[in-house]
A and B are shown apart, each in its own frame.
Chain A
Amino acid sequence: SQQGEEDPQALSIQEGENATMNCSYKTSINNLQWYRQNSGRGLVHLILIRSNEREKHSGRLRVTLDTSKKSSSLLITASRAADTASYFCATGTYKYIFGTGTRLKVLA
């Protein structure tokens, strides 16, 4: 079963714009992670945010977590064509449960 639901399912933006995708989950968590998957490839870990953190940054990525709403958001600033990929949130320790994903397309 899927723990998280990403929103939107698909997003198309112009290069240089910001991209925001959201993840809602069902049960209490200790942490939440975001992964990127390029077409036909494995998943690459982007960032982990713990349940006692509200915001975290890594380069052009900003992740927020609202445990009261059971939701997280991933913001990619100044997007590039190379950011075109699917993005997934995942919860759990050792055993991850992934969301349904957001397919991001960045147009050059």
Chain B
Amino acid sequence: EAGVAQSPRYKIIEKRQSVAFWCNPISGHATLYWYQQILGQGPKLLIQFQNNGVVDDSQLPKDRFSAERLKGVDSTLKIQPAKLEDSAVYLCASSSLTDPYGYTFGSGTRLTVV
């Protein structure tokens, strides 16, 4: 079974620029998550999708972050404009409705804002 795919692996941008990350979950996984992991901390949930609907985006800084999952499969996370404190690893994970503990994480995108 293919894992959760994320791209790019690394991204360096200047502050105030925009950036987008892409995630392709495991086939058949209805639930998709984006987490932000700042260096030295645990991952923090940004947004949770079930199919193409948002279940929880309470910790997403909506003034600059947006995410979509239009067809209920792939997802993109965008930051516009980026701030220095957005430097982190952005992790995507997916799970099936029948196995909520069967989380699979992607390798993440490491963002550096300079």
Contacts and interface: CB of A to CB of B under 8 A. Distances in A.
A99 to B, nearest CB: 5
A56 B103 CA distance: 19
Interface string B78-114: 0000000000010101010000110101111010000
Given A94-B48, A99-B42, A42 B108 contact: yes
Contact of A31 (B48, B55, B101, B103): B101
Contacts of A4: 42
Interface residues of B, number: 24
Nearest to B6: A42
B43 interface: yes
Interface residues of A, number: 22
Contacts of B93: 42-43
B95 A95 contact: no
B22 to A, nearest CB: 15
B48 A95 contact: yes
Nearest to A98: B42
Interface of B: 4, 31, 33, 40-45, 48, 55-56, 89, 91, 93, 95, 100-101, 103, 105-108, 110
Interface of A: 2, 4, 31, 33, 40-45, 48, 88, 90, 93-101
